Structure 1
Amino acid sequence: MRVFITGASGWIGSAVVPELLDAGHQVIGLARSDASADALTSAGAEVRRGTIDDLGVLRDAAAEADGVIHLAFKHDIAFTGDFQGAATADRAAIEAFGEALAGSGKPFLIASGVLGLAPGRVATEEDGQASDGEAPFEGAGARLANAQLTVALAGRGIRSSVVRLPPTVHGDGDKGFMATLVAVARDKGAAGYVGDGANRWPATHRADVARLFRLALEHAPAGSTLHAVAEEGVPLREVAEVFGRHLGLPAVSVPPEDAAEHFGWLGGPVGLDSPASSALTRESLGWEPAHPGLLDDLGKGHYFAAPAE
């Protein structure tokens, strides 16, 4: 297939691109900068210049491709407090792809998340299909609505799928939640966890996530929701204890009422108990994660290299 990918040079996309190329697919990646374009060219992909705000570019690229994987998300503004704005831009892109792909039967995949889907119990692929309930943190409801929109595109003749990611897709080079929490620990002089730290986050190695995206592109049924979850739930206290050992800092409990002050914008998510299963995904696509779990990956030490001066 000729596959158009947004976010192709990002953390997930830069693993998905070689996964697809190695499987014999052609890749056209959206690039908003010269650096992104150079990275895609070096990886063996073609380049389409633009951003996810360039809706005409998205429509044209989708129409010319055999499938689309939408990974781009405005994390730069989401991480600084405007999650709603990032989700609104994401919805516009999804609608543009829907217009271009309607009636084609082509695969269309987006990335979403499992965090906060079913707090306190193990979430499954069947959760979050309706819009009832309160969002667990600001902006989460809007992104869930975007996933529901994508699933509904199956009714317009598109083989649409939502791949829900755990809050930590880990590996060497990760600059996401785990790297942010390491930076917070350094800044505060302690590796914190909320309350007793028994709350759990699911986790998956980046290479395993990339393989699931390929399998979904090739085989996922229309309207499917998939969980890219290798570990159902890793207790955040155990994560903080690994941080503490590598950084030479104490692992300490942060009262829930102080979480926002201690962790900043991560104060809400880091206290969630949000385990998730991928049993239905594994059964449907034969996906079996094969790379190290989160604690083993943290134990390798690459998250704790001294920051550049």
Structure 2
Amino acid sequence: MRVFVTGATGALGRHLVPGLVDAGHQVTATTRTPAKVDGLRAQGAEPVVVDGLDREAVITAVLAAAPDVIVHQMTALANAHNLRKLDQEFAATNELRTRGTDNLLAAAERAGTRRVVAQGHNFVYARSGGPVKTEEDDLDARPVPSAAQAMAAIRYVDTTVPQAVPEGIVLRYGTFYGGDPTTDPMLAAVRKRQMPVVGGGTGVWSFIETSDGAAATRAAVERGAPGVYNVADDEPAPVAEWLPYLAELTGAKPPMRLPAWLGRVLAGEFIVTQMTEARGCSNAKARAELDWEPRYPSWREGFRAWVAS
């Protein structure tokens, strides 16, 4: 198939593009950075430099590629590390998830592309009820004010893509890990004891290693009914369980523990809610309907391989 991949040089895209090429697909891969063109070409893709917010440029690129499938992985998160002011940090990504999504969907309509696979996140689930959510569970109706725009942008993708094209798929990824362990900001924070367990660490997180996320995305390119799918490993876990384990793997001292009120002062409301109220997600639907399973079924083995790399 002809596959048009946006955000092709991002954390997931760097695994997705060569995986699609190896599977025999003809891949057109976009980047906003001319310097990254040679790297995409070396992976076997046809590179295109395009800004996802430039509607006419996006439509022109998609029409030229005439894809059977469009994969929407556009973000601008490389330097977004201050989660205290999430909406401010995610402003560019929020626009890519709203206006950029609209541009891709308009291009899909013009090109006659029936299948669009887009990036979502499991942070959209309601922070109430059971600790592990399925795709049928309620979404968060009361997002933290400092993250309201970011959550709205994620939900925009979540609702718009399945409605706009005959085969619209949104993958609600767990929290990614697996980047360069020498420069990864989360590992750096853990090593410096700058990532504490807040308020008892009762928030439940679901993780997905980036190459596993790319494999699930490749599966959604090739098969699966329209709709939303959770893409995460098999073991949602509370912060109080996974964070000390990660610290131990890095050789750091155990993470500090802070009461929720102090966490709000130091890190902001969004971090506190994720540390104390977040809900994990079940990957049962993706396993069954996409015929996919993670190489790292648990963050335990995934973290170990990540840190060792």
Fold shared, TM-score > 0.5 on shorter chain: yes
Q: Which position in structure 2 is the counterpart of 1:50?
A: 50
C-alpha distance in 2 between matches for 1:77 and 1:143: 19
1:150-165 alignment runs, 5 A limit: 150-154=161-165, 158-165=166-173
- Work out whether residues 16 and 211 of structure 1, in 8 Å CA contact, stay in contact via their aligned partners in 2: yes
| Secondary structure of 1:250's aligned partner | coil
Moved over 6 A (4+): none
- Shift in Å at residue 288 of structure 1? 1.7
Cα displacement string for residues 78-108 of structure 1 (whole angstroms, at most 9, x for unaligned residues): 5454235531332111111222222835211
- Work out whether residues 29 and 40 of structure 2, in 8 Å CA contact, stay in contact via their aligned partners in 1: yes
- The residue type equivalent to 1:66 in the other structure is D
Q: Which position in structure 2 is the counterpart of 1:199?
A: 203
Cα displacement string for residues 170-215 of structure 1 (whole angstroms, at most 9, x for unaligned residues): 2252699xx433333344x465111222321001222221121111
1:131-150 alignment runs, 5 A limit: 133-136=141-144, 137-138=147-148, 139-150=150-161
| Secondary structure of 2:143's aligned partner | coil
| Secondary structure of 2:170's aligned partner | strand
2:101 is aligned with 1:94: yes
2:247 is aligned with 1:244: yes
C-alpha distance in 2 between matches for 1:232 and 1:198: 15
- Quick one: which of 276, 300, 306 aligns to 1:295? 300
| Secondary structure of 1:127's aligned partner | coil
Q: Which position in structure 2 is the counterpart of 1:217?
A: 221
- Work out whether residues 202 and 275 of structure 1, in 8 Å CA contact, stay in contact via their aligned partners in 2: yes
**Is 97-106 or 273-282 further displaced after alignment?**
97-106
**Structure-2 change in CA distance of 1:196 and 1:266 (3 Å):** closer
**Structure-2 change in CA distance of 1:105 and 1:2 (3 Å):** closer
| Secondary structure of 1:231's aligned partner | coil
Q: Which position in structure 2 is the counterpart of 1:181?
A: 186
- The residue type equivalent to 1:71 in the other structure is Q
| Secondary structure of 2:28's aligned partner | strand
Structure 2 residue runs without a partner (length 5+): none
The alignment yields a C-alpha RMSD, in angstroms, of 2.7
Q: Which position in structure 1 is the counterpart of 2:261?
A: 257
**Structure-2 change in CA distance of 1:256 and 1:3 (3 Å):** same
1:53-132 alignment runs, 5 A limit: 53-63=53-63, 64-76=66-78, 79-80=81-82, 81=85, 82=88, 83-102=90-109, 104=112, 106-120=114-128, 121=130, 122-127=132-137
- Shift in Å at residue 66 of structure 1? 1.9
C-alpha distance in 2 between matches for 1:22 and 1:207: 14
Count of residue pairs the alignment pairs up: 294
Q: Which position in structure 2 is the counterpart of 1:33?
A: 33
**Structure-2 change in CA distance of 1:11 and 1:217 (3 Å):** same
C-alpha distance in 2 between matches for 1:290 and 1:76: 25
C-alpha distance in 2 between matches for 1:84 and 1:117: 21
Identity across matched positions, percent? 23
- Work out whether residues 225 and 289 of structure 2, in 8 Å CA contact, stay in contact via their aligned partners in 1: no
| Secondary structure of 2:10's aligned partner | coil
Structure 1 residue runs without a partner (length 5+): none
What TM-score, normalized by structure 2, do the two folds share?
Answer: 0.84
